C-alpha cells in the first residue's frame, strides 16, 4: 500500500502543466525543423503554437514562420519530369 501511494504521488508530481508541454513541443519542433526533420517537426509545431499555452514571443513567431514555410513547400507547383525521364532513357 505504501508503494502504491508513493507511486501515485510520484506520477502526480511528474505531470507537466499544459503550457510547459506546449513550450517544450515548440522548442523540439523548432530544433527538428533546423535539422531538416520536417515530418517530425510538423506535429510538434502544431502542438506548440497554441496561443493559450504561452506567450507569443520569439520562439512562437519562429514556429509560425517555420510552419508557414512547410505550407508553402506543400503548396508549390510540381515541376514536370517527363523530359528528365525521356532524356535519362536516351542516355542508357
Domain edges within the chain: 15-76
Q: What is the pLDDT of residue 52?
A: 82
Give phi and psi for 39, each to the nearest 5: -65, -35
- Under a CB-based contact definition with an 8 Å cutoff, are residues 78 and 41 in contact? no
- What is d(CA 1, CA 8) in angstroms, rounded to the nearest whole number? 11
Q: What is the pLDDT of residue 56?
A: 85
Q: What is the pLDDT of residue 16?
A: 53
- Under a CB-based contact definition with an 8 Å cutoff, are residues 58 and 70 in contact? no
Q: In the block, which residue shows the cell 520562439?
A: 59
Count, residues in the chain: 92
Q: What is the pLDDT of residue 69?
A: 86
Q: What is the pLDDT of residue 22?
A: 86
Q: What is the pLDDT of residue 82?
A: 66
Mean pLDDT by 10 residues, the chain (92 residues): 67 53 89 90 88 83 88 75 58 54
Q: What is the pLDDT of residue 75?
A: 78
Amino acid at each position: 500500500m505504501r508503494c502504491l501511494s508513493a507511486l501515485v504521488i510520484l506520477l502526480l508530481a511528474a505531470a507537466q502543466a499544459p503550457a510547459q508541454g506546449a513550450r517544450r513541443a515548440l522548442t523540439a519542433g523548432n530544433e527538428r525543423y533546423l535539422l531538416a526533420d520536417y515530418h517530425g517537426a510538423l506535429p510538434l509545431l502544431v502542438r506548440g503554437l497554441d496561443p493559450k499555452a504561452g506567450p507569443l514571443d520569439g520562439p512562437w513567431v519562429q514556429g509560425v514562420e517555420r510552419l508557414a514555410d512547410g505550407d508553402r513547400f506543400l503548396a508549390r507547383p510540381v515541376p514536370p519530369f517527363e523530359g528528365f525521364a525521356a532524356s535519362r532513357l536516351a542516355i542508357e
